[in-house]
């Protein structure tokens, strides 16, 4: 029987091919003046044309900010907030990957509570509701369309910083898989494997059983996040390679899966693979999903002793376990299949390949230990030694397998 369950989500979630054409109707419920936040490449393409047409067909006053830069440098964020404060839109529409959606959330926050974003870093530091956000992902994905998180790059911080607050959950999430058609193979790989990492880390997270009303955004594994996590795994893992080839059914499966993964980790939280990505991403200047995807199988192997049944369930949801295999064997099959998928979609197979020197690993472990909210969410206790053990294994590429399919 389920024991505890927590789920937080947008007011409405819409999924389906063509559903982005309903954006105008949704926006009209919120305001007559909207700001579309996206990047220059997407602004020139079909996805933006559809959304803008839909908004204008409702007679809304529409402004466009197309200056999003991946990984969100602070100056870009402040520029977007400044612009919104001058023109006073009452609803923000994030159209794009995680970077554009996170920027729309930060603009909604800045407009409501001021530009001193540093005062909101961490968990539950946002003092109250922000302007409404409609999130339309074009990658699949970060899950940002349903999560309480926005991540940015602050030049005064060594690592990327996160603002996590229930107030940052978008009002509407509009997940139209057609929006991800044509997404480059590399971006598809990084975003898709990151979504798988969200699902796996949420499903294997610590069982923290925080009492109701606790002032925490991430509450650990629970019966509601578990359901979405497994649904995510079964839709992402078997279809990611075909999504990279831009097959429409596979695009739809992965978009659905990443939405489910967002619902899972937006409440349960993620753990050690994400904690280690922060310093590795900063040191190597590599995308978020490249790091989480590379590290995921190593995180699973480290956590195996505490989460055999869960890892076995993940293997079964992926469809990679043999008939009648017991949990021990199915857990190993899941770990092997995740490592194989990571290399099949074209991720580097070791940290050494990223030009990280072995001597840097202790420093990276120390930095990861500082990402406290993710460290406490891991099912096995983590200290510097344990983090170093995972990093050393990933540095050597111990789980690397030859890629069965090569992707250019």
Residues in contact with Fe ion by the rule CB under 5 A: 194, 292
Considering the rule CB under 6 A, would residue 99 count as an interface residue with ligand NAD?
yes
Q: Which is nearer to ligand NAD, 183 or 280 (CB)?
A: 183
**In the complex, what is the shortest distance from the CB of residue 306 to ligand NAD, in angstroms, rounded to a whole number?**
24
Q: Pick what 332 binds: Fe ion, ligand NAD, none; C-beta below 5 to 8 Å, kind-dependent.
A: none
Which among 385, 348, 375 has a CA at the least distance from the CA of 189? 348
Q: Which does 192 bind (CB under 5 to 8 A by kind): Fe ion, ligand NAD, none?
A: none
Residue closest to 292 by CA, chosen among 331, 252, 261? 261
Q: Which of 104, 109, 146, 103 is nearest to 125 (CA)?
A: 109
Beta-bridge mates of residue 96? 137
The encoded tokens of residue 26 equal 């949704």
CB-CB contact of 244 with 407 (8 Å): yes
Q: Which residues contact 315 (CB under 8 A, 6 or more apart)?
A: 321, 330, 331, 333, 334, 337
Cβ contact 317:238 at 8 Å = no
Task: Among 23, 54, 165, 180, indicate the residue that binds ligand NAD (CB under 6 A).
Answer: 180
Query: Residue 262: how many CB atoms within 10 A of its CB?
Result: 30
What letter would DSSP give residue 19? G
Phi, psi of 355 (to 5 degrees): 65, 30
Residue 398, SS3 per DSSP: coil
By CB under 6 A, name the one of 235, 288, 304, 316 that touches ligand NAD.
288
Q: Residue 38 touches which of Fe ion, ligand NAD, none (CB < 5 to 8 A by kind)?
A: none
10, 89, 94, 98: residue in contact with ligand NAD (rule CB under 6 A)? 98
Q: Which residues contact 306 (CB under 8 A, 6 or more apart)?
A: 379, 380
102 binds, among ligand NAD, Fe ion, none (CB under 5 to 8 A by kind): ligand NAD
373 is a contact residue toward ligand NAD (CB under 6 A): no
349 binds ligand NAD (CB under 6 A): no
39 binds ligand NAD (CB under 6 A): yes
* CA dist., res. 359 & res. 79, Å (int): 39
Q: Nearer to Fe ion by C-beta: 194 or 226?
A: 194
Closer of 24 and 289 to ligand NAD (Cβ): 289
- Of 188 and 343, nearer to ligand NAD (C-beta) is 188
Q: From ligand NAD, Fe ion, none, which one binds at residue 180 (CB under 5 to 8 Å depending on kind)?
A: ligand NAD
Is residue 102 near ligand NAD by the rule CB under 6 A?
yes
Please say which residue, 145 or 332, places its beta carbon nearer to ligand NAD: 145
- Compute the least distance from the CB of residue 159 to ligand NAD, in Å: 11
- By C-beta, is 42 or 77 nearer to ligand NAD? 42
Binding of ligand NAD by 192 (CB under 6 A): no
- Tell me the closest approach of the beta carbon of residue 344 to Fe ion, in angstroms: 19
104/97 Cα distance (integer angstroms): 11
Q: How far is the CB of 197 from ligand NAD (least distance, A)?
A: 9
Select from 34, 43, 191, 275 the one that contacts ligand NAD (CB under 6 A).
Answer: 191
Walk across the sheet containing 161-164 and list its strands: 122-123, 161-164, 149-152
Q: Could you tell me which residues are beta bridge partners of residue 152?
A: 161
DSSP-assigned states of every residue in 214-225:
-S-S-----HHH
The footprint of ligand NAD (CB under 6 A) covers 39, 41-42, 70-72, 96-100, 102, 138-139, 141-144, 147, 149-151, 179-180, 182-184, 187, 190-191, 194, 288-289
């Amino acid at each position: 029987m389920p024991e505890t369950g927590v789920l937080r989500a947008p007011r409405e979630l819409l999924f389906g091919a063509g559903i982005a054409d309903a954006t105008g109707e949704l926006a009209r419920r919120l305001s007559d003046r909207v700001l579309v936040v996206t990047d220059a490449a997407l602004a020139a393409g079909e996805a933006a044309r559809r959304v803008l047409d839909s908004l204008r067909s409702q007679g809304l006053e529409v402004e466009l900010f197309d200056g999003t830069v991946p990984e969100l440098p602070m100056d870009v964020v402040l520029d977007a907030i400044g612009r919104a404060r001058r023109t006073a839109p009452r609803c923000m529409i994030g159209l794009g990957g995680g970077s554009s959606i996170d920027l729309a959330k930060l603009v909604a926050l800045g407009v409501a509570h001021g530009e001193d974003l540093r005062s909101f870093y961490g968990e539950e530091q946002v003092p109250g509701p922000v302007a409404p956000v409609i999130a339309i992902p074009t990658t699949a994905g970060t899950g940002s369309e349903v999560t309480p998180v926005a991540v940015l790059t602050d030049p005064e911080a060594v690592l990327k910083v996160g603002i996590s607050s229930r107030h940052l959950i978008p009002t509407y999430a509009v997940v139209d898989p057609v929006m991800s058609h044509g997404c480059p193979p590399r971006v598809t790989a990084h975003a898709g494997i990151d979504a798988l990492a969200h699902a796996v880390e949420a499903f294997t997270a610590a069982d923290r059983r925080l009492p109701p009303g606790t002032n925490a955004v991430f509450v650990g594994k629970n019966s509601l996040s578990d359901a979405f996590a497994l649904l995510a795994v079964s839709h992402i893992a078997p279809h990611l390679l075909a999504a990279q080839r831009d097959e429409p059914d596979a695009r739809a499966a992965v978009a659905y899966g990443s939405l489910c993964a967002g619902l899972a980790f937006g409440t349960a939280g993620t753990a050690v693979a994400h904690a280690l990505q922060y310093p590795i991403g900063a040191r190597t200047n590599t995308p978020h999903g490249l790091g989480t995807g590379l590290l995921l199988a190593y995180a699973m192997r480290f956590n195996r002793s505490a989460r055999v049944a869960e890892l076995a369930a993940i293997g079964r949801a992926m469809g990679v376990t043999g008939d009648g295999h017991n949990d021990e064997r199915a857990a190993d099959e899941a770990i092997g299949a995740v490592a194989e998928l990571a290399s099949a979609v074209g991720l580097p197979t070791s940290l050494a390949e990223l030009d990280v020197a072995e001597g840097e690993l202790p420093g990276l472990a120390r930095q990861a230990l500082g990402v406290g909210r993710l460290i406490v969410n891991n099912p096995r206790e983590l200290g510097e030694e344990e983090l170093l053990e995972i990093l050393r294994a990933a540095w050597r590429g111990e789980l690397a397998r030859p890629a069965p399919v090569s992707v250019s």
